[in-house]
Amino acid sequence: MTKIKQNQDVSDAIVAWQEAIGEPAVLNASTNTADFCTFASESAALARLRPIDIDGVRRCLQIASEHGVAVYPISTGRNWGYGSAVPTQAAVVLDLSRLNQITDYDETLGTVSVQPGVSQQQLYDFLQQHGGRFWMDATGSSPACSVLGNTLERGFGHSPYSDHAGQLIRMEVLLADGRLIETGLGHFHTAKAADNYAAGLGPGLSQLFLQSNFGVVTGITINLMPTPDYFQAVYFSIDQPAEIAPLIDVLQPLRLKGVIRSALHIGNAHRVLSSIQQYPWAATGGVTPLPEPVLQAFGRQWDFGAWNGSGALYGTRRQVAEARRSIKTALRSQVKKLRFMDDETLALAKRFQKPYRWVTGINLPEMLKLIEPVHNMMKGKPTDRIIASTYWRKKMAIPQDMDPDRDRCGLIWCAHVAPTKGHFAKEMTDISSEVLSRHGFEPGMTLTMINERCLDNVVSICYDRDVPGEDQRALACYAELTQKLIAAGYFPYRLGTHAMHLLQQYGGQEYLALLGQLKHLFDPHQIIAPGRYSASDQ
């Protein structure tokens, strides 16, 4: 079925779309190749539609139905490492980035309504301009990436509001047949609490549209975190990879009891290094993967360990002091370094980098490149620093206007979950390390405590798409890694467009049949993103 669609003639549909939403809003496929992605993809973007409002989106869907052409909705298309803006199967991309309004804001209760095109930076700026009473939760992805898109993918950030889908209140969804549905209490058009009470009355429908192809989400309302009185970041590291198990076991009750209320990210040495700089071609004489002694030398120079944690405390000064006391008590004997840093300490560190090193032992000039954006990200300020690491294996310098797709940066994310217990963390990361190393990639990864009870091992397969054969090797590595992690009981929380078959391959048969029935109910002609988190491509 995919192959037939790949060669589908969509010219009649394109004429109809041009008439409906205007010529400039319809781009042909040549500007949107399948290869415009951080890994090789077989499916093609047959064209690109850029409507400016919900009515335009509805007309796009209607024409898609009439002509039997599938559309693939994207928000801003920066789903880097998971397929960027490339469809799961051949389709016309339905680009919603021009729907970019912040449509509502409650500055007392801290809720905001955004359309698909609203970027992290746009929301951040908006909140700053409105007095900074609330913070958004930023992800490590680009400042230009969509708040809505990340939420629909169940992305997570760094603050106590890190579970983006968990902070979702209401959705506005366009169905394939043109109906516009509001979830939660939203369909009661006069409900005062529509932006405050997510559950609604009767069966809840919002979750149906997360990681889904059941409809086109044209707007969401989300909660914002009230700006705390005080903020303090915490950093710690351990020397030996195997110490990750006891470290997780010590951190687990802190997260469970709410001493640490935010997602805690623990990156390994490879991940830290790739966040500071590109691959050290000179120091390695061009050899890949990175030799262990070179990594260790960087670790000594910049004072990072085998695993390096970052998190933050939020509250009044006394609340933060009390949390800090608990963390110190728990971690003191477990970690090599344990440091707390607030805005003042950071400002001071920037002014006095040398004496700071003398006092603390940190080689700050380089580490600040990473610490400052991470510090700000934990305060809800998006950064492009993390996405810079997609240039890790590139031999070009990192450009000012980063675009991993255009610059053929190779990146495949692989993110699997486990209960927050040390031996699972150890087993999961051991599998990831072994598989990546054997395939010739640096096993850069983080462990994130995404909620009070669950760990996410986010592994980056990072490479240079301009090196012949690397695309295939990276995809083969991903295939083996997911197979091994799943065999050990660690399932993905999210899939790239190339990996949607994993749901079908491992899911319960009766469950998948039900997903298929639901898809048929919402979109009987398979117009919306066929194959995306879908039980089958029928």
CA 382 to chain CA mean position, Å: 12
CB 376 within 8 A of CB 139: no
Question: Reduced to 3 states, what is the DSSP secondary structure of residue 61?
Answer: helix
Residue from 7, 129, 190, 400 that binds its own copies (CB under 8 A)? Answer: 190
Dihedral angle of Cα 32, 38, 39, 45, to the nearest 10 degrees: -20
- Nearer to its own copies by Cβ, of 19 and 104: the residue is 104
Residue from 128, 301, 316, 472 that binds its own copies (CB under 8 A)? Answer: 316
| Cα maximum dimension of the chain | 70
Task: Note the helical H segments in 421-469.
Answer: 422-438
- Nearer to its own copies by Cβ, of 279 and 522: the residue is 522
- Nearer to its own copies by Cβ, of 291 and 507: the residue is 507
Burial 85-120 (b: 16+ CB within 10 A, else e): bbbbbbbbbbbbbebbebeebeeeebbbbbbbbbbb
User: Backbone phi, then psi, for 97, in 5-degree steps?
Assistant: -65, -20
Residue from 1, 199, 283, 287 that binds its own copies (CB under 8 A)? Answer: 199
User: Backbone phi, then psi, for 508, in 5-degree steps?
Assistant: -65, 135
- Nearer to its own copies by Cβ, of 102 and 502: the residue is 502
Please state the closest distance from residue 419 (CB atom) to its own copies, in A: 5
Please state the closest distance from residue 417 (CB atom) to its own copies, in A: 4
- 54 contributes a contact to its own copies by CB under 8 A: no
Q: What is the DSSP letter of 376?
A: H
- 106 contributes a contact to its own copies by CB under 8 A: yes
- Considering only residues 492 through 521, tell me which ones interact with its own copies, judged by CB under 8 A: 492-495, 503, 506-508, 510-515, 517-518, 521
Residue from 23, 130, 201, 296 that binds its own copies (CB under 8 A)? Answer: 201
Task: Note the helical H segments in 439-508.
Answer: 470-487, 501-506
Q: What's the count of helices (H) and strands (E) in the chain, helices before strands?
A: 17, 19
Strand pairing class (71-74; 45-49): unpaired
Task: Note the helical H segments in 27-85.
Answer: 54-67
- Nearer to its own copies by Cβ, of 346 and 512: the residue is 512
Please state the closest distance from residue 284 (CB atom) to its own copies, in A: 37
- Considering only residues 388 through 447, tell me which ones interact with its own copies, judged by CB under 8 A: 417-421, 424
- 132 contributes a contact to its own copies by CB under 8 A: no
- Considering only residues 202 through 261, tell me which ones interact with its own copies, judged by CB under 8 A: 202-212, 214, 223, 226, 228, 252-253, 256-258, 261
Return the residue matching tokens 């990156």: 267
Count of residues binding its own copies (CB under 8 A)?
89
Please state the closest distance from residue 333 (CB atom) to its own copies, in A: 20
Task: Find the angle CA(440)-CA(443)-CA(447) to the nearest 5 degrees.
Answer: 165
- Considering only residues 451 through 470, tell me which ones interact with its own copies, judged by CB under 8 A: 451-454
Please state the closest distance from residue 150 (CB atom) to its own copies, in A: 14
Residue from 30, 108, 129, 400 that binds its own copies (CB under 8 A)? Answer: 108
Query: Which H helix or E strand runs over 364?
Result: helix 364-377
Residue from 98, 187, 339, 473 that binds its own copies (CB under 8 A)? Answer: 187
Q: Which region, judged by CB under 8 A, interacts with its own copies, from 83-91, 104-112, 339-347, 466-474?
A: 104-112
Tokens, residue 527: 């117009």
